[in-house]
Amino acid sequence: MSLIQITGQSHPVILDLLYATDKNFTGNVIYKNPLCFLHEKAMPLFEKAILLAEKQGFTLKIFDTFRPKQAAQALWDFCPNPIYVADPQKGSNHTRGVAIDLNLVDKATDLELDMGTPFDDFTENSHHSAVLAPEIAKNRYLLLGIMMSAGWDFYNNEWWHYQLFSPRDYPLIETDYGMM
C-alpha cells in the first residue's frame, strides 16, 4: 500500500490545503508542509472526477486528503465532536488516505462554487440534506453527481467530504509523509 502525491503539476487541480495554514476551524497551522496525498486505490476515482469536472467546465479545488495521525489528534483535541471530526482512537478515513475534501471552481470565472457554508462549517447547513436556496442546492448536487459518478461515496454531514466505499477496509497509515 502506498500513497501518491498530488501536485498542481501532476494533476490539473487547485490545492488549497487549509490545514497547512491558519485559515481553518482551529485557527492554527496543523500541517508544517502543504503536501497532498491519496491512497493508490483512490487515484483512478480522483482522476475520473477531474475529467468529469473538466467536461462540465470546472476544476477541483482540494482542501484536504491524507491526514497524518498527529493532525487527526490535533483536530480532535480542538473539536471532539464525532459528527464532524473523527475520533483518532477509531481512526479517520483521511488517516487511511481514502478521503478527500473539495469543492468546484468555475473555469470561466475562476470562482469557487457557493455551497452555502464554508469548508468545515460544523452546522446542519453543511449537511447534504439541508434545505437550501435553489442555486446552492444545484451547486452541491453538481459536486455530488461528479464525485459519485467517479465512484466516490459521500458523508452526509459534510458537503465537501468524499471517500472510497468501505473505507474501514483500509489500514490506518502511521507515517506522516513529511507533512508534520
Catalytic residue numbers?
158
User: Can you spell out the DSSP letters for the chain?
Assistant: --EEE--TTTSS-EE--GGGSS-STTSS---SS---EEETTTHHHHHHHHHHHHHTTEEEEEEE----HHHHHHHHHH---TTTS--TTT--TTTTT-EEEEEEEETTTTEEPP-SS-TT--SGGGSTT----HHHHHHHHHHHHHHHHTT-EE-TT-TTEEE-SSGGGSPPP---TT--
Q: What is the number of other CB atoms lying within 10 angstroms of the CB of residue 91?
A: 18
